[in-house]
Amino acid sequence: MSMFKDIPVEVGVIYEGERIRRNDMQVELGGPTVKQKFELAKVKPLDQIEDGKVTIVGPDLKDLKEGAAHPFGILIEAAGATLDAGLEGVIERRIHGYLNYIEGFMHLNQRYDIWIRIGKKSFQKGLNSFELIGKVLYRLFKSELSIIEKIQITFITDPAKLDEMLPKAMGEYEARDAKARGLKDSEVDTFYGCVLCQSFAPSHVCVITPQRYSNCGAISWFDGKASASIDPKGPIFAIPRGEIINEEKGEFSGANEAAKKHSMGEVNQVWLYTAFDHPHTSCGCFEAVAFYIPEVDGLGIVQRNFKGAAVNGLPFSTLADSTAGGRQIDGFHGMSIEYMRSSKFFAADGGWNRIVWVPKEVKEKVKEFIPADIVDKIATEEDAKNIDELKEFLKAKDHPVVKRWDAQEEESEEAKDVQVSEEAAGTMMPVATAGSIPIMAGGFRIILKDAKIYANKVIIKSAEKDNKDKR
Give the pLDDT score at 232: 84
326 and 210, same domain (yes or no) = yes
392 and 421, same domain (yes or no) = no
CATH label of the domain that carries residue 103: 3.30.1650.10
Lowest mean pLDDT segment, chosen from 239-243, 283-287, 313-317, 395-399 = 283-287
Share of the chain above pLDDT 90, in %: 70
Average pLDDT over residues 99-121: 94
241 and 165, same domain (yes or no) = no
31 and 135, same domain (yes or no) = yes
CATH label of the domain that carries residue 214: 3.40.970.20
Q: CA-CA distances (angstroms) from residue 311 to 38, 187, 357?
A: 29, 38, 7
DSSP class per residue in 242-306 = --EEETTTTEEHHHHHHHHHHTTTS----BTT-SSSSBPP--S--SEEEEEETTTTEEEEEETT-
Which of the four pLDDT bands, split at 50, 70 and 90, describes residue 411?
low
- Cα(342)–Cα(220) distance, rounded to whole angstroms? 12
Domain boundary among 127, 147, 180: 180
Q: Are strands 25-30 and 115-119 parallel, antiparallel or unpaired?
A: antiparallel
176 and 194, same domain (yes or no) = no
Domain boundary among 406, 426, 451: 406
303 and 444, same domain (yes or no) = no
230 and 340, same domain (yes or no) = yes
Average pLDDT over residues 327-346: 94
254 and 312, same domain (yes or no) = yes
31 and 134, same domain (yes or no) = yes
What confidence tens digit (pLDDT) does each residue in 235-277 have?
Answer: 999 999 999 999 999 999 999 999 999 999 999 999 999 999 9
423 and 346, same domain (yes or no) = no
Question: Which helix or strand (DSSP H or E) is residue 29 part of?
Answer: strand 25-30
277 and 357, same domain (yes or no) = yes
Q: Are strands 288-293 and 298-303 parallel, antiparallel or unpaired?
A: antiparallel
58 and 86, same domain (yes or no) = yes
pTM reported for the whole predicted model: 0.73
Domain limits at 17?
A: 2-180
Total count of domains within the chain: 3
Domain boundary among 353, 371, 406: 406
What confidence tens digit (pLDDT) does each residue in 209-222 have?
Answer: 999 999 998 889 99
